[in-house]
Amino acid sequence: MTTDADRDALEAALPPLSGSLSLPGLEASVSVRRDAWGIPHIKAVGEADAYRALGFVHAQDRLFQMELTRRKALGRAAEWLGAEAAEADILVRRLGLEQACRRDYEALAGEAKDMLKAYASGVNAFLESGAAHPCEYALLGATPEPWEPWHSIAVMRRLGLLMGSIWFKLWRMLALPVVGAQNALKLRYDDGGRDLLCIPPGAQADRFEADLAALAPFVDHLLKAMGGDASDAAGGGSNNWAVGPGRTATGRPILAGDPHASSRSPACMRSTISPAIAST
């Protein structure tokens, strides 16, 4: 049963839709307008201010999701979620995800580092603003931790684990001692540059055909490694597609990315519109 106090606490964590806020570090004034769908439209003179405002807005809307995703990326989710999350934490620690993120950040050019620093300063400005935190923090008895610039890379690497091909790489690793290097390579699609990136009407792209006889020992080995459960062995996929302006009702082209991920609330992507930066 939800009490008035519970409802008040939930509403207190919602971002304000009018008024003015002070954001340290801004070089000029920034306006944020939320449309009917809650999508923030950020208007800033320069990119640094736009990214600083973007970090602030993201923290307003998605702070708990941001921090939980960061914890999953760094192998710290079990601190909040308990023993059931420990196995995933162990995996990302063995993969060295945190070290990889720190190396990625150090290898960035100055402009990219400045972007991530500005974004992080916006997130931290929200944490220091005294605004109410999402209710999940109260339920966990937790306090938000500061956001460092390289943490944004950690979030993207976490999404990469979910949407990338890491599981196929791990399966190939299991296959290597069983079927040998040459046969294990057959599990990796490589068309030698023959396939078409953009397929004209009526054209056919090359298709990968595995040597099933050579891979049969690996399939048995994989099933044993998975405890006989192959329900997730087929994996998934993603696609990207475009529609020309002559085929749309508006006369404008459509470019769409379709990552095949499980449904979740809130979604793993966040729509933001700003003339100063690309939509994210």
Residues 46/277, Cβ–Cβ less than 8 Å: no
Q: How far, CA to CA in Å, does 160 sit from each of 21, 163, 164, 168, 279?
A: 34, 5, 5, 13, 19
At 10, list the tokens.
């939930």
Closest CA to 161 of 239, 81, 98: 98
- Residue 122: how many other CB atoms lie within 10 Å: 28
Please state, in angstroms and rounded to a whole number, the distance separating the CA atoms of residues 211 and 94. 32
Residue 218 sits in the same domain as residue 151: no
Report the CATH number that the domain containing residue 203 is assigned in CATH: 1.10.10.2580
90-118 per-position pLDDT tens digit = 989 998 999 999 999 999 999 999 999 99
Predicted confidence at residue 170, as pLDDT, reads: 75
Helix, strand or coil for residue 55? helix
Question: Is the same domain home to 172 and 253?
Answer: yes
Domain check: are 117 and 183 in the same one?
A: no
The answer to the question of residue 137 being in a domain is yes
Q: Are residues 232 and 133 in the same domain?
A: no
Do 88 and 72 contact (CB within 8 A), yes or no? yes
Q: Give the per-residue pLDDT at 174.
A: 77
Residues 91 and 225 in one domain: no
What is the Cα–Cα distance from 270 to 57, expressed in whole angstroms? 11
User: How many domains are contained in the chain?
Assistant: 2
In angstroms, the CA 272 to CA 42 distance is: 8
- The model carries a pTM of 0.73
Tokens 């944020």 appear where?
32
Whether 119 and 176 map to the same domain: the answer is: no
Same-domain check for residues 193 and 212: yes
**What's 95's domain CATH number?**
1.10.439.10
- Structural domain harbouring 13: 9-160
Residues 117 and 188 grouped into a single domain: no
- Asked if the model's pLDDT at residue 233 lies above 70, the reply is no
Residue 280 confidence class, pLDDT cut points 50, 70, 90 = very low
> Does some domain include residue 3?
no
Taking residues 19-47, what's their average pLDDT?
Answer: 87
17 with 154, same domain? yes
Within a domain: 272 = no
Task: Give yes or no for residue 268 having a pLDDT over 60.
Answer: yes
Confidence at residue 220, expressed as pLDDT on a 0 to 100 scale: 67
The 3-state DSSP composition of the chain as helix, strand, coil percent (nearest 5) reads 50, 5, 45
- State the average pLDDT over residues 120-125: 96
Beta strands in the chain (DSSP E): 31-34, 40-43, 239-243, 254-258
Could you tell me the pLDDT band of residue 207, with boundaries at 50, 70 and 90? low
For residue 230, give the 3-state DSSP assignment: coil
What is the distance between the alpha carbons of residues 128 and 137, in angstroms, rounded to a whole number?
16
Number of neighbouring beta carbons within 10 Å of residue 70 = 20
Active site residues: 238
Amino acid at site 260: H
